[in-house]
Amino acid sequence: MSKPSLARGTRDFGPEQMVKRTFIFDTIRRTFQRFGFQPLETPAIENLSVLMGKYGEEGDQLLFKILNSGDYAAKLTEADWQQDARQFTTKISEKGLRYDLTVPFARYVVMNRGTLSMPFKRYQLQPVWRADRPQKGRYREFYQCDADVVGTSSLLCEAEIVMMLHGILRELGLTDFTVKINNRKILTGIAEVIGAQGQEGTLCVAIDKLDKIGKEKVLAELIERGFSPESCAGLEPLFALASEQAPFAELRSWLATSDVALKGIDELEEVWQLVEGFGLENPQMQFDVTLARGLSYYTGAIFEVKVNNVQIGSISGGGRYDNLTGTFGVPGLSGVGISLGVDRIYDVLEELSLFPDDQAITTRVMLSHFDAAAARYGLKVLHQLRQAGLNAEMYPDAVKLKKQLDYADRKRIPYVVLIGSEEMQSGKLTLKNMQTGEQKSLTSEEIIAELKR
């Protein structure tokens, strides 16, 4: 008999963890709805033709592919077996698990564009899968919470993303965080200025790793990928600007010969002005010229959120994409979105002890009884409690009171109603406070009033 085990990079979530996760989901969902976003769900499985080519070379390698059903190898030839892994995979797999929620969303928009009111604002809370190397804060199965607006190029959407992020994180109890912002047009302009025009994709992939591997290894990777030493030397201003809060004047001076970079700077400045117009108190946003985001479909603003002084990567990321639906035959639909990683947020809140204490309580009151007659009497009381909106349960077996109270204590149930022969005769039940030990003799109506106070 084999010993049960979990697949690496996945986790079980027991009741205590699920209550905390629900707290995160509910906070995010409320905020998304407050900003006018509508709910959407898409299948876990997508055709590989939908997924491939949307995430860059590295992203394609991290897609979980699903073997074709049946005898998937029956039609393979000897030549097929000699092909490289990428070519071979297309012969035995037509579907894969979704890598993110943005590409499936773009597919949905294209397939349903005739029925959608544009601009279309949707949010989505579902799991995604990546064949990554598991480590702290990085899992193979994890939830994303996405909010996207498609069908408008207004920079008001970028500013509202900044506002939503501040609202969600502060409501979760996080105070020391930074919303980092860049613009892909600036990165394109940098590639032009250093003489590496057309190689901005390679540049973005490399500098996106700056905070993980450092400047020297980033430059070494660029050299390895074909950048000249002169182009790498031209990146020095980028590293010097990395710690500046909003160095727009310095950027304009460095990138003055690139029209596309200047447009990106203009867009960033407008986002800053719009956020200021909202009157956000103590905005925690910072321009980061090294922020690249590895995904190849971003064309404008790029976002990333880091919680400071915590050894976990970014908890949120996103950006503007002008051409994503174009890959499905519908060009010209600009969109912008943000994704929050629930699993990383959970780890951060756990590390900082920010979950509310009462989040572990799912049952508010438990009914305890001593025999079948008391159990039958308690059924009506149990129904009354639930009808009043109170989470209530009855211990199922007529066992010793200590065992029933131990059960309530382990579940952190704050109140227990004791039902015995004396209580049934008088109509007054005993309400026990499990924390203080205090007991009161009350009618069921008075118990409801006491617990809802």
Q: Give the neighbor-by-neighbor strand order of the sheet with 120-129.
A: 38-39, 120-129, 141-150, 335-341, 316-321, 301-307, 177-183, 285-287
Alpha helices (H) in 259-339, listed in sequence order: 259-278
For 100-104, 197-201, 376-380, which range has the lowest pLDDT when averaged over its residues?
197-201
Looking at the fold, whether 256 and 159 belong to one and the same domain comes out as yes
Backbone angles phi, psi at 356, to 5 degrees: -60, 140
Looking at the fold, whether 210 and 286 belong to one and the same domain comes out as yes
- Residue 244's pLDDT is 55
Q: Is position 5 within any domain?
A: no
- Residue 71's pLDDT is 74
- How far apart are the C-alpha atoms of 293 and 339, rounded to whole Å? 12
Looking at the fold, whether 370 and 242 belong to one and the same domain comes out as no
Is 148 annotated to bind a ligand? Reply is yes
Q: How far is CA 113 from the centre of its chain?
A: 26
Last residue of a domain, one of 351, 380, 399: 351
Looking at the fold, whether 121 and 270 belong to one and the same domain comes out as yes
Task: Compute the Cα dihedral for 441, 447, 449, 453 and give only its sign.
Answer: positive
The tens digit of pLDDT for each residue in 347-378 reads: 899 999 999 877 667 899 999 998 999 999 99
- How far apart are the C-alpha atoms of 146 and 100, rounded to whole Å? 9
The CATH number linked to 152 is 3.30.930.10
Q: Report the pLDDT averaged over residues 263-268.
A: 95
Looking at the fold, whether 124 and 258 belong to one and the same domain comes out as yes
Percent of the chain's residues with pLDDT above 70: 94
Q: Is position 386 within any domain?
A: yes
Last residue of a domain, one of 319, 351, 383: 351
Nearest CA to 152 out of 117, 182, 184 is that of 117
369-380 in b/e burial notation, b at 16+ Cβ within 10 A?
bbeeebbebbee
Which of the pair, 134 or 419, is modelled with greater confidence?
419
- How far apart are the C-alpha atoms of 24 and 13, rounded to whole Å? 14
Looking at the fold, whether 277 and 368 belong to one and the same domain comes out as no
Looking at the fold, whether 163 and 241 belong to one and the same domain comes out as yes
The tens digit of pLDDT for each residue in 231-243 reads: 888 888 888 775 5
Is the pLDDT reported for residue 101 higher than 90? yes
The tens digit of pLDDT for each residue in 41-81 reads: 999 999 998 998 877 777 888 999 988 777 777 677 676 67
For 19-23, 103-107, 195-199, 219-223, which range has the lowest pLDDT when averaged over its residues?
195-199
Is the pLDDT reported for residue 163 higher than 90? yes
Is 415 annotated to bind a ligand? Reply is no
Is 102 annotated to bind a ligand? Reply is yes
Average pLDDT over all residues of the chain: 89
Q: Is 60 left (phi over 0), alpha (psi -120 to 50) or beta?
A: alpha
Looking at the fold, whether 289 and 365 belong to one and the same domain comes out as no
- Residue 246's pLDDT is 65
Which of the pair, 106 or 294, is modelled with greater confidence?
106
Residue 87 burial (CB count, 10 A): 10
The CATH number linked to 431 is 3.40.50.800
pLDDT category, 327, cuts 50, 70, 90?
confident
Q: Residue 161 is part of which domain span?
A: 26-39+113-351
Instruction: Give DSSP secondary structure letters for 24-45.
Output: HHHHHHHHHHHTT-EE----SE
Looking at the fold, whether 185 and 273 belong to one and the same domain comes out as yes
Please state whether beta strands 141-150 and 335-341 pair in parallel, antiparallel, or not at all (unpaired).
antiparallel
Looking at the fold, whether 375 and 326 belong to one and the same domain comes out as no
Identify the helix (H) or strand (E) that includes residue 319: strand 316-321
Count of structural domains within the chain: 2
Is 143 annotated to bind a ligand? Reply is no
Is 176 annotated to bind a ligand? Reply is no
Is 101 annotated to bind a ligand? Reply is yes
Is 297 annotated to bind a ligand? Reply is yes
Q: Are 300 and 185 in contact (CB under 8 A)?
A: yes
pTM comes to: 0.84
pLDDT category, 329, cuts 50, 70, 90?
confident
Task: Give the count of alpha carbons within 13 A of 359, CB side only.
Answer: 20
Task: Compute the Cα dihedral for 374, 377, 382, 388 and give only its sign.
Answer: negative
Looking at the fold, whether 311 and 396 belong to one and the same domain comes out as no
- How far apart are the C-alpha atoms of 333 and 114, rounded to whole Å? 13
Which of the pair, 293 or 182, is modelled with greater confidence?
182
- How far apart are the C-alpha atoms of 397 and 284, rounded to whole Å? 54
Is the pLDDT reported for residue 92 higher than 80? no
